[in-house]
Amino acid sequence: CWAPFHVLQLVQLAVHRPTLPFYYAYNVAISMGYANSCLNPFIYILLGQNVRRRIVVSVRPAAFGEDTSHNRLKSAQGEGSDFGQPLLHLVSVSAR
């Protein structure tokens, strides 16, 4: 969404005396670019499948009131839980 701004920057190089409509267009182009930059993080969250899936997985046990104690037990034993990777594979364990 920064394309209009960059096009107007190139036009400004060729114009010696910019007109009032040019300044209005320039301000609109800058506002569009800033609005795009502000909205991008939210757009990626809403449209990104990976982020959406992780949010659903992290909220699901609490939302449905499920007892996750059996999942914690599986994870502690190194088995895969229903909601993610085994904890022992995420943390390096060294024998002393």
pLDDT digits (tens, 9 = 90+) for 32-89: 999 999 998 888 878 777 877 777 777 776 555 555 555 554 545 555 445 555 544 5
Instruction: Assign 64 to helix, strand or coil.
Output: helix
Q: Where are the beta strands (DSSP E) in 1-96?
A: none
Whether pLDDT at 31 is above 70: yes
Alpha-carbon span 63 to 78, nearest angstrom? 26
Quick check: 45 and 51 in contact, CB under 8 A? yes
pLDDT at 88: 47
List the domain boundaries for the chain: 3-68
Largest CA distance in the chain: 76
